[in-house]
Structure 1
Amino acid sequence: MKRIIILCIFVILVSHSVVYAKFKDNKPPSYEELYTEWGYTTIDDAITQFENSYNKDLKLPLRVPPIAFTHHFGKFTDSEGNTNSFSAQFVNDKHPEKHYKIDVKAAEDGMEFNERQVIDTYKLKNGTIASYISLSQHQIGFYALVFTKNGWQYILSIDERVADTVTPEVLVKIANSFEDE
């Protein structure tokens, strides 16, 4: 009987500790913690790493979509086979649908998409043809404007839930906002 009482006390103490530990761990990580864990840093640091890997300047559009963002992060991905990429994420921690991305790769390593994904095409002010396409990533739909400029393929994408605000025409204005034009 003494063993049973000691075992019960032990189980109660252990279960109490586990409950406390679980409560403490249930606090969701901040966006800063999450994106850092996923390998993101500042946009400037990621651009520098990307430019150093190609020994070539990377220009980004000067405009962003007309929605509120609380955070922005950059990431340089150094992949095997020399297909490095740059990604900039603009997010809002209160409204996850307010999510805009810029992905850049060397044009020869760019994303391929099929004609079924193409919703429309647009001519940019420098004469480049941009394709407005539909994408899905992890159960979330995105629309993207894909174009090539200065040897880079740019993919400007927006969460489909804000596509009524960030229309294809807005993405075209962003694509036309490079400093050198």
Structure 2
Amino acid sequence: MIDVRSIEQKLDLGKSKKDWGKYKFKDGSEALYITTKSPKTRGRFNILVFEKNGWHYRLAVDSRIGNHVTADVLFGIAQSIK
């Protein structure tokens, strides 16, 4: 899943981000990565969140395919966005 929003309508990521993995873009900005459980679907998701050029992005995959679509793969996709 790819969710794109304007910065003004970005998702609230909560106060505690200490357990989030961090990736750095070449421009110095960061992407945050976490595996989380969704209470609505009872599933787990691997999520990469970042901001670029006034947009807020969320890339997410079901954790059952996490061994195929790793955090590095999601970050590679994020790096390809201009």
Tell me if both proteins adopt one fold, taking TM over 0.5 as the criterion: yes
Change (3 A) 1:111 1:143: same
Change (3 A) 1:110 1:123: same
Instruction: Provide TM-score, normalisation by structure 2.
Output: 0.83
Which residues of structure 2 form unaligned runs of 5+? Answer: none
Instruction: Provide TM-score, normalisation by structure 1.
Output: 0.40
RMSD of equivalent CA atoms: 1.7
- Greater strand fraction, Structure 1 or Structure 2: 2
Structure 1 residue 172: Cα displacement: 0.7
* Aligned pairs (5 A) from 1:23-42: none
Q: Which residue of 1 aligns with 2:37?
A: 136
Q: Which residue of 1 aligns with 2:74?
A: 171
Q: Contact (CA 8 Å) 1:143, 1:163: kept in 2 or not?
A: yes
The percent of aligned pairs where both chains have the same amino acid is: 38
Change (3 A) 1:117 1:123: same
Structure 1 residue 112: Cα displacement: 1.4
- Greater helix fraction, Structure 1 or Structure 2: 1
Aligned residues: 79
CA distance in 1, matches of 2:71, 2:35: 11
Which residues of structure 1 form unaligned runs of 5+? Answer: 1-100
Q: Which residue of 1 aligns with 2:61?
A: 158
